[in-house]
Structure 1
Amino acid sequence: MSFRIRKLPLAAVVGVVAVAGVAGVAVAASPISGSDWPYDGAAKGQQYTLAAVGDIACEPADAENESNPASLKCGSADLGGYDAEYATARQTLGLHPDAVALLGDEQYQVGKLSDFEGSFEQAWGGLKFIERPAPGNHEYYSYTKKGDNEPAQNGTGYFGYFNGHDQNGTPNSQGQAGDDTATNQGWYSYNLGNWHVISLNVECNSAAFNNDCSTTGGGLLAQETRWLANDLKNNNEPCTVAYWHQPTFSATTDSTATVPASAPGAGGQEGGVADAWWQLLYSNHATLVLNGHEHAYARLRPMDPAGSYDPKHGIPEIIIGTGGEALDTLAVSNGVYANPNVVTGYDQGYGVMNLTLKPHGYSFTYKPALAGAGFGPSALDYSDSGSGSCQG
Structure 2
Amino acid sequence: MSRARLALAACLSLVASLLVVAVATSAGAAETLLSQGKPAASSSKESSSYTAAKAFDGDPTGTRWASQEGHDPEWLRVDLGSSQQITHVKLFWEDAYGKSYKIQTSDDASTWATVYSTTAGDGGLDDLQITGAGRYVRMYGSKRGTSYGYSLYEMQVFGGGTTPTDPPTTPTPTPGGSFTVAAAGDIAEQCTSSDSGCMHPKTATLVQNMNPQFVITMGDNQYDDARLSDFQNYYAKSWGAFKAKTHPAPGNHETYDPAGSEAGYKSYFGSIAFPQGKSYYSYDQGNWHFIALDSNSFDQSAQLTWLKADLAATTKGCIAAYWHHPLFSSGEHGNNPASKPAWQALQDAHADLVLTGHDHIYERFAPQSAGAQADPNGLVEVVGGMGGASPYKIENVQPNSQKRLTDTFGVLKLTFTDSTYGWQLIGVDGQVKDTSPTYTCH
TM-score by length of 2: 0.61
1:318 partner SS:
strand
Name the counterpart of 1:357.
416
Structure 1 residues 159 and 35: CA distance shift in structure 2, 3 A: farther
Q: How far apart in 1 are the matches of 2:413 and 2:185?
A: 13
Q: After the TM superposition, which residues 6-17 of structure 1 pair with which residues of structure 2 at under 5 Å, given as runs?
A: none
Structure 1 residues 21 and 347: CA distance shift in structure 2, 3 A: same
1:276 partner SS:
helix
Establish whether residue 340 from structure 1 lines up as the match of residue 391 from structure 2: no
Structure number with higher strand proportion: 2
The 8 Å contact of residues 135 and 155 in structure 1, kept in 2 or not, is answered as yes
Name the counterpart of 2:268.
161
Q: How far apart in 1 are the matches of 2:105 and 2:390?
A: 30
1:339 partner SS:
coil
Establish whether residue 304 from structure 1 lines up as the match of residue 369 from structure 2: yes
Q: After the TM superposition, which residues 200-219 of structure 1 pair with which residues of structure 2 at under 5 Å, given as runs?
A: 200-204=293-297, 214=299
Q: What do residues 234-271 of structure 1 show as CA deviations (whole Å, max 9, x unaligned)?
A: 011110000000101112148xxxxxxxxxxx53xxx3
The 8 Å contact of residues 291 and 320 in structure 2, kept in 1 or not, is answered as yes
Out of 278, 281, 305, the position equivalent to 2:343 is: 278
Q: Shift of residue 354 of structure 1?
A: 0.6
Q: Shift of residue 141 of structure 1?
A: 3.0
The 8 Å contact of residues 112 and 156 in structure 1, kept in 2 or not, is answered as yes
Out of 165, 184, 190, the position equivalent to 1:53 is: 184
Name the counterpart of 2:290.
197
Q: What do residues 37-92 of structure 1 show as CA deviations (whole Å, max 9, x unaligned)?
A: 5434357661111111010101259xxxxxxxxxxxx96xxxx953x111111111
TM-score by length of 1: 0.68
The 8 Å contact of residues 111 and 153 in structure 1, kept in 2 or not, is answered as no
When the two chains are superposed, the root-mean-square deviation of aligned CA atoms in Å is: 2.8
Structure 1 residues 381 and 99: CA distance shift in structure 2, 3 A: closer
Q: After the TM superposition, which residues 170-249 of structure 1 pair with which residues of structure 2 at under 5 Å, given as runs?
A: 175-179=271-275, 184=278, 186-204=279-297, 214=299, 221-249=300-328
Gaps of 5+ in 2: 1-101, 113-133, 138-158
The 8 Å contact of residues 21 and 192 in structure 1, kept in 2 or not, is answered as no
The 8 Å contact of residues 289 and 315 in structure 1, kept in 2 or not, is answered as yes
The 8 Å contact of residues 424 and 433 in structure 2, kept in 1 or not, is answered as no
Structure 1 residues 117 and 341: CA distance shift in structure 2, 3 A: same
Letter in 1 for 2:291: I
The 8 Å contact of residues 351 and 369 in structure 1, kept in 2 or not, is answered as yes
Q: Which structure ranks higher in relative contact order (CA pairs < 8 Å, sequence separation ≥ 6)?
A: 1
Identity score, percent: 30
Name the counterpart of 1:328.
392
Q: Shift of residue 369 of structure 1?
A: 1.2
Letter in 2 for 1:235: T
Q: What do residues 166-187 of structure 1 show as CA deviations (whole Å, max 9, x unaligned)?
A: xxxxxxxxx1112585xx3x11
Structure 1 residues 351 and 97: CA distance shift in structure 2, 3 A: same
Gaps of 5+ in 1: 1-15, 62-73, 143-150, 164-174, 205-212, 215-220, 255-265, 333-337, 372-379
2:424 partner SS:
strand
Name the counterpart of 2:235.
120
The number of residue pairs the alignment matches comes to 293
- When Rg is computed on C-alpha atoms for both structures, the one with the higher figure is 2
Structure 1 residues 357 and 152: CA distance shift in structure 2, 3 A: same
Name the counterpart of 1:287.
352
Q: How far apart in 2 are the matches of 1:38 and 1:128?
A: 16
Structure 1 residues 224 and 53: CA distance shift in structure 2, 3 A: same
Out of 100, 105, 111, the position equivalent to 2:215 is: 100
